[in-house]
Copies of this chain bind each other. A is one copy, B any other.
């Protein structure tokens, strides 16, 4: 559901600093160049838009050390997916109290290790996981993830994370009885364009909170997840509109018995880093499958296994620039450089690129700072992982 009356954020061009780096053409392609100033600006914009929440950066979006350093200094907290991500955040100088182990799928020994390091905030969505937490992280704050429908989101949400609200209600009571301060979390789906999604999810949270209240326990955490957008092909609502919608939903849905202070958590990943990055790639080949085909195939030196995994099902549609923009264009299918026939980026989405485009030209994909470098394959077809530069 789109909000036609909402002012939409129009995509902006990369910063002057980024443009200078990109036009130098001194770095071998493919690479992502990141402007750290944009990361800082986004962190503060979200903190301002949602003042009642603590911002936990979803490290998986881009765990590069310069980004972690910047966010540690800015006062951010961190949502981590694995033992190694805990270590990276600690190495960047954050206290363990600023870490949430947000993956609902954790080995018992990784929970124990994180707890030893001082981590005291953990996600779960199943009884088996709660048992591991009670055994290996006694007394830690735990939050149960409820399933969300995810409609309105661009990146597919499966039923992989979370449990049904009835099951969550049962589990949070078990957790409270086992001595954990407890909370509830959800995720409305990545690149969420429907601002009412949070209201629907918070209605589920209220249902779970009721069960907790009925059992005589207190709700300690509400985790409103991520879903804050990067700027791809489609215009999206501005961050202030997200803040307003979530604040309003919290006010509307939270029962009056919910004690303050409740820790409200927001977990932006994409929003903080996507627009900070530009991916520069080289055209390796432009071809037609038959002489009269109108549609050309454009093969880039970065593909689905080289960092552009989010083109899966053409879910994320990056904006592109070429040296010939403004010239006559025509329809294209875009693909990566590997011998894998699944390494096609865009086939159904209507991309058009200049007819003058040829091998050796540099093409830029905008808003590539999130979910690119670490998705990159370790060496598929002998191609090196995606490089990253900071400006």
> Restricting to A143-197, which residues have a CB under 8 Å from any CB of B?
147, 155-164, 166-167, 170, 189
The reply to whether A297 and B160 form a contact with Cβ atoms under 8 Å apart is: yes
Q: Which of A58, A63, A85, A126 has the most CB of B within 10 A?
A: A126
Using an 8 Å CB-CB cutoff, how does the interface string of A355-391 with B read, 1 for contact, 0 for none?
0001110000000000001111111111111000000
The answer to whether A88 and B382 touch (CB under 8 A), given A158-B347, A160-B344, A375-B305, is yes
Closest to A85 in B: B382
Name A125's contact: one of B287, B312, B380 (CB within 8 Å).
Answer: B287
Query: What are the residues of chain B within 8 A of A60 when measuring CB–CB?
Result: 338-340, 380-382
Using an 8 Å CB-CB cutoff, how does the interface string of A234-259 with B read, 1 for contact, 0 for none?
00000000000000000000000000
Name A166's contact: one of B157, B291, B338, B341 (CB within 8 Å).
Answer: B291
Pick out which of these stretches binds chain B: A34-42, A76-84, A215-223, A271-279.
A76-84
> Restricting to A5-49, which residues have a CB under 8 Å from any CB of B?
none
Q: Is A74 part of the contact surface with B, judged by Cβ < 8 Å?
A: no
- A→B interface (CB under 8 Å): 58-60, 63, 80-85, 88, 102-108, 125-129, 132, 147, 155-164, 166-167, 170, 189, 282, 284-291, 297, 299, 301, 305, 309, 312, 335, 337-344, 347, 358-360, 373-385
Cα A344 to Cα B163 with chains together (Å): 16
The reply to whether B339 and A103 form a contact with Cβ atoms under 8 Å apart is: yes
The reply to whether A342 and B63 form a contact with Cβ atoms under 8 Å apart is: no
Query: What are the residues of chain B within 8 A of A189 when measuring CB–CB?
Result: 341
**CB-CB nearest 9 A-B residue pairs:** A126-B287, A84-B382, A82-B382, A85-B382, A164-B290, A81-B381, A378-B385, A81-B339, A105-B299
Closest approach, in angstroms, between the C-beta of A136 and any C-beta of chain B? 12
Name A107's contact: one of B81, B84, B282, B335 (CB within 8 Å).
Answer: B282
Closest approach, in angstroms, between the C-beta of A127 and any C-beta of chain B? 7
Closest approach, in angstroms, between the C-beta of A253 and any C-beta of chain B? 22
Cα A337 to Cα B338 with chains together (Å): 26
Closest approach, in angstroms, between the C-beta of A228 and any C-beta of chain B? 16
Closest approach, in angstroms, between the C-beta of A83 and any C-beta of chain B? 7
The reply to whether B156 and A342 form a contact with Cβ atoms under 8 Å apart is: yes
Query: What are the residues of chain B within 8 A of A341 when measuring CB–CB?
Result: 155-158, 160-161, 189
Closest to A59 in B: B382
